[in-house]
Structure 1
Amino acid sequence: MQMSEEIVQAETIRQWVQQALSGREFARTSRSVLAAGCFDTVIEHQQGITLLLKEKLCGPAFSLARPVFETFVRGLWLSYCATEEDLNRFRRDKVKPTLSEIITALEILPQFSEGVLSRVKATGFDYMSSYTHGGFQQIVRRIGDDVLEPQYNDDEQIEITRSTTSYVLLAGIEIANLANDLPLAQSILDKTIEYAKRSA
């Protein structure tokens, strides 16, 4: 699939998720509001990535990959693990557990026990951090033999588009769960499986 087609597909999926979630209500507890805010941020970041890639602004697009992953994981933690003290600390922007500690806490739970989050962190987090913080991965993609300009190949752009679009779907499932709308969560899960098969 061409990069332009990947972007169209990513935008179509995000719009579908946003429309599916539109008007859904959930209990306005501190936990649910903070978690939903994280998941909504994931969706918006993916929108930013697709817009930036359409404009060939790959550097800033790639710099958002880590916030997508980290914000999704934080939303899960707020939803499933955080204590009242953690929630109060989060509201003061004083998150105490590290990302590794958050993932460890999540993967104790049955729904996350397969270790997908820790594998993503182990295999991709250093690369994501390098893109976000102006590290080698970001800089080396601007250095050619005779030119200084962004040089991100299509495979790399497709990978970030697919991975962040997958997080949109997963974030949608979590928002549906917060709304206690199990049929909607299942519908988004079905779309997630369909997207994974198309992207394989």
Structure 2
Amino acid sequence: MISPSDVEFENKAKNMLQRVIEWATKHMIGKEVAGGCLRRKMAAMSFSLSIDFISGISILTTFCQRSSAMALHRSVIEAYLRGFWLAYVADEDSIQKFSTGPLTKTAKPLAQLLKRKGFKINVNCFQQSES
């Protein structure tokens, strides 16, 4: 059984996801990814993956699969951040390393790199809460 606090948490998560989508759309529309073909392909794949996750969240919440939907929220954010990092921040060496596996980045380091590059990101959103 779902409690009122669960519904509130779910609504906050959906609102955060909506803000991420709005921010990313605002900063993506009309932007071209400069650089090599690998950069463009990997950035596009990251953005596409985040859209797939969003669709998955929508389907899961339709069928009251809240836990699985919540688990995908972070994946959406990380995929968007990774796409921006690949498109606008990563150097060619980092892209090559990322494409072959030895370089990985999670949400907070990606957000910090994007913020340093001039994108307006609240990196505090990615701090883990203390239990």
TM-score relative to the length of structure 1: 0.44
Structure 1 partner of 2:121? 115
**Alpha-carbon separation, structure 1, partners of 2:77 and 2:65:** 20
SS at match of 2:125: helix
After superposition, the Cα gap between the structure-2 partners of 1:98 and 1:39, relative to the gap in structure 1 and judged at 3 Å, is: closer
Structure 1 partner of 2:69? 61
Higher relative contact order, structure no. (Cα contacts within 8 Å, ≥ 6 residues apart): 1
**1:77-106, Cα deviation, whole Å (9 max, x unpaired):** 111111111111111122245543322221
**Alpha-carbon separation, structure 1, partners of 2:121 and 2:114:** 9
**1:149-190, Cα deviation, whole Å (9 max, x unpaired):** xxxxxxxxxxxxxxxxxxxxxxxxxxxxxxxxxxxxxxxxxx
Q: Identify which range, 79-88 or 42-51, moves more after superposition.
A: 79-88
* Letter of the 1:45 counterpart: F
**Alpha-carbon separation, structure 2, partners of 1:53 and 1:99:** 24
**Alpha-carbon separation, structure 1, partners of 2:57 and 2:107:** 22
Gaps of 5+ in 2: 1-9
Structure 2 partner of 1:42? 50
Structure 2 partner of 1:31? 39
Structure 1 partner of 2:78? 70
Q: How does 1:36-185 map to 2 (within 5 A)?
A: 36-97=44-105, 99-110=107-118, 112=119, 114-116=120-122, 118-122=123-127, 126=128
Q: Identify which range, 89-98 or 60-69, moves more after superposition.
A: 89-98
What is the identity percentage for the equivalent residue pairs of Structure 1 and Structure 2? 25
Number of aligned residue pairs: 104
CA RMSD of aligned residues (A): 3.2
Gaps of 5+ in 1: 128-135, 137-200
After superposition, the Cα gap between the structure-2 partners of 1:97 and 1:53, relative to the gap in structure 1 and judged at 3 Å, is: closer
After superposition, the Cα gap between the structure-2 partners of 1:98 and 1:63, relative to the gap in structure 1 and judged at 3 Å, is: closer
* Letter of the 2:69 counterpart: A
